[in-house]
Amino acid sequence: MDRTFKGLTAGIIGAIPMNIVNFVFYGLNLIQIRFIDWSGIILTGERPNDLNSIIHSLIFQMFWSGILGIGLAFLIPAISSRGYFLKAVLYSFFVNFALRGIVVLFRVPLLYKVSTVTSELNSIPTVIWALTAGYMLYFLDKREQHH
């Protein structure tokens, strides 16, 4: 498996627990916006509010996470192949900060104004994605070395 597919796989697998935690936070009314709201707003201009739009947004959000995983997969060996987890967490914070900056800079409707609590709590699933994706990359690299 090459780096692109390793990254895509790691990113998509990392998106599963990330979205579960994000949905739980939203269901408990702890946050104002879900990660699927980002993809829904970017794709259609509105938040997903029915089953079809939720599934559509979730699929695109999962693939976006896969694309971010590809970036991580190429970044880690470019720096060194040690410290997968720390590098993954730092990468996720960088991506999160950059995307929030773009949203605020361009005042993307429904996305650019969120509460501090939402911003803080959405960092938790972001770290979960990073740790999961980092572990998957580590696992896939080690598995390849043994074959």
Per DSSP, the three-state class of 27 is: helix
Q: What is the pLDDT of residues 106-120, one digit of tens each?
A: 999 999 999 999 999
Q: What is the pLDDT of residues 90-105, one digit of tens each?
A: 999 999 999 999 999 9
**Residue 14 lies in domain:** 3-146
Using alpha carbons only, give the angle 138, 93, 4 rounded to the nearest 5 degrees.
40
Q: How many CB atoms lie within 10 A of CB 117?
A: 12
Give me 78's structure tokens: 């470019």
Looking at the 3D structure of the chain, how many domains does it have? 1
83 exposure class (CB count in 10 Å sphere: 0-12, 13-18, 19+):
middle
pTM above 0.95?
no
Q: What is the pLDDT of residues 18-30, one digit of tens each?
A: 999 999 999 999 9
Give me 137's structure tokens: 């990359």
Q: How many CB atoms lie within 10 A of CB 107?
A: 9
